[in-house]
């Protein structure tokens, strides 16, 4: 019954490494989002995409990039991981349009630790 | 920018009691609101939603109330159970393309 899948639940990476976080949804949603979640700061939007090969910066894009080559897959890339990127990363998807049921469906999250 | 906040960061209730979690929002143009539940180590899960043309919507044991005059949203959980212990977020959107989230309220249910 899993609809938004994040490839890893836990990751430990070293400072300076290039890190890929993968997200796949099977609901044919147009919109996909990457958030990070930190205590006291809530969910902060990193990047989002409304269509294949399309991407938009969110509120905190610095140090991150994204890739959306296929509709169902949205990848978050940490170009050179730093300790301040240690966080819980949440992927979400949604239908394009308006109405009941057009909210986000979230993945289970990836807890990334950069050492 | 958007601002969605919660009045109480932590709420403790006795098992069996009713819980009320509150949320304030700042954008009067917001048209759609959702409550999410996030259990420890998991992603947020949809609980209930409401459109701005409604002031109340009921689900199974949950009710969402919307007061557009004061830009206030609340989630009521009837007969709170230990399984309801989680962090609850409200989210709002003016255009359905992007949602804005509060920082969350942690609900502790005491047996």
- CA–CA min distance A36, chain B (Å): 11
Return d(Cα A97, Cα A112) in angstroms, integer.
32
The whole-number pLDDT of residue B6 equals 42
- Arithmetic mean of pLDDT, B74-88: 96
Higher pLDDT: A3 or B5? It is A3
pLDDT averages per 10-residue partition of chain A, 115 residues: 86 97 94 90 91 93 97 97 97 80 87 97
Give the Cα-Cα-Cα angle B108, B57, A37 (nearest 5 degrees): 45
SS3 sequence of B51-92: ECCCCEEECCCEEEEEECCCCEEEEEECCCCHHHCEEEEEEE
The whole-number pLDDT of residue B95 equals 79
When pLDDT is cut at 50, 70 and 90, the band that residue B109 belongs to is very high
All structural domains of chain B, each given as residue ranges with its CATH number in brackets, are 4-100 (2.60.40.10)
The whole-number pLDDT of residue A41 equals 80
Kindly list the distances between the CA atom of residue A16 and the CA atoms of A23, B21, B40, in Å, as whole numbers in the listed order.
Answer: 22, 42, 29
Structure tokens at B77: 């959980």
Which residue from A42, A102, A104 is facing B102, i.e. has the nearest CB? A42
- Arithmetic mean of pLDDT, B69-75: 95
Least trusted range by pLDDT, from A28-32, A38-42, B5-9, B66-70: B5-9
The whole-number pLDDT of residue A78 equals 97
When pLDDT is cut at 50, 70 and 90, the band that residue B98 belongs to is confident
Instruction: Tell which residue, B51, B88, B47, B11, has the closest CA to residue A104.
Output: B47
Which region holds residue A90: left if phi is over 0, alpha if psi is between -120 and 50, else beta?
A: beta
Over the stretch B25-37, which tens digit does the pLDDT of each residue have? 888 899 899 999 9
Least trusted range by pLDDT, from A73-87, B39-53, B55-69: B39-53
When pLDDT is cut at 50, 70 and 90, the band that residue B103 belongs to is confident
- CA–CA min distance B8, chain A (Å): 12
Query: Residue B96 pLDDT > 80, yes or no?
Result: no
Instruction: Tell which residue, B18, B17, B53, B22, has the closest CA to residue B35.
Output: B22
Selected for mutation to probe chain A from B5, B38, B99 (highest A CB count within 10 Å) is B99
CATH topology of domain A4-98+106-114: Immunoglobulin-like (2.60.40)
Contact (CB<8Å) A103/B46: yes
Chain B residues touching A48 at Cβ < 8 A:
98
């Amino acid at each position: 019954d899993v609809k938004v899948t994040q490839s890893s639940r836990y990751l430990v990476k070293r400072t300076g490494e290039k890190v890929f976080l993968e997200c796949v949804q099977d609901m044919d949603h147009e919109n996909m989002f990457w958030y990070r979640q930190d205590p006291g700061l809530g969910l902060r939007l990193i990047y989002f995409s409304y269509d294949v090969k399309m991407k938009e910066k969110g509120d905190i894009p610095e140090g991150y990039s994204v890739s959306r080559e296929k509709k169902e897959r949205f990848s978050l890339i940490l170009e050179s991981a730093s300790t301040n990127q240690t966080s819980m990363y949440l992927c979400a998807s949604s239908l394009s349009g308006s109405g009941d049921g057009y909210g986000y469906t979230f993945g289970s999250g990836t807890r990334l630790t950069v050492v | 920018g958007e601002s969605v906040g919660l009045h109480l960061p932590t709420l403790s209730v006795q098992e069996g009691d009713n819980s009320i979690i509150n949320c304030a929002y700042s954008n009067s143009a917001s048209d759609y609101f959702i409550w999410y539940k996030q259990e420890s180590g998991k992603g947020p899960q949809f609980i209930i939603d409401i459109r701005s043309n409604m002031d109340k919507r009921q689900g199974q044991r949950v009710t969402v109330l919307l007061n557009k005059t004061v830009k206030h949203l609340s989630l009521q959980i009837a007969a709170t159970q230990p399984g309801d212990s989680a962090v609850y977020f409200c989210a709002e959107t003016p255009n359905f393309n992007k949602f804005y989230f509060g920082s969350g309220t942690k609900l502790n249910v005491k047996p």
